[in-house]
């Protein structure tokens, strides 16, 4: 298995709902383990909170958990998640964009960017910031036709 870069999202009492939402957007297989499953908290209030959630859908990998009450938490301030692909992925990426934007806030519309890609930023209903980048084909320079040798 190759090394993977995986976003790990933190929530306060919303990890189950959030991870199930992302599962509805991306599909795949979702596993959720609670603090109670691992006897990881002596506080019975936290037994049903998510200690570790993992969503795998093809090449997409996402993890998340609830932050215990005794730890500080501030939603959406220290991370963003980037989804990117080429023109062949445009329909898929636009589908993700639409689903993530539902009940969220679009910070920058998904449209042509100065660097040529289609790009947008949004904050979903859980306060998670997303960036979507759809690469566009590189235009081929108009090359001068080959000149026959003038012998």
Q: Which CATH code fits 1-71?
A: 3.10.180.10
CB 40 within 8 Å of CB 68: no
- Residue position matching structure tokens 């709902």: 17
Query: Given this model, what pLDDT does residue 35 score?
Result: 92
Comma-separated ranges of CATH 3.10.180.10 domains in the chain: 1-71, 74-137
**CB within 8 Å of 147: residues ≥ 6 apart:** none
> Over pLDDT 70: what percentage of the chain?
88
Reported confidence tier of residue 78, pLDDT bands at 50, 70, 90: low
Class of the CATH-defined domain 74-137: alpha beta
The winner for highest mean pLDDT among 35-39, 80-84, 88-92 is 88-92
């Amino acid at each position: 298995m190759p090394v993977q870069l995986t976003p790990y999202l933190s929530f306060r009492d919303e990890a189950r709902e959030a991870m199930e939402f992302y599962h509805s957007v991306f599909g795949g297989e979702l596993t959720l383990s609670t603090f109670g499953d691992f006897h990881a908290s002596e506080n019975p209030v936290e037994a049903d909170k998510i200690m570790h959630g993992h969503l795998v859908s093809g090449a997409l990998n996402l993890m998340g958990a609830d932050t215990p009450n005794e730890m500080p938490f501030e939603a959406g301030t220290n991370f963003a998640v980037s989804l990117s692909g080429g023109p062949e992925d445009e329909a898929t990426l636009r589908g993700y964009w639409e689903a993530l934007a539902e009940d969220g806030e679009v910070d920058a519309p998904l449209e042509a960017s100065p660097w040529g890609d289609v790009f947008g930023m949004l904050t979903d209903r859980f306060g998670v910031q997303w960036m979507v980048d759809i690469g566009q084909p590189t235009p081929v320079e108009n090359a001068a036709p080959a000149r026959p040798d003038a012998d």
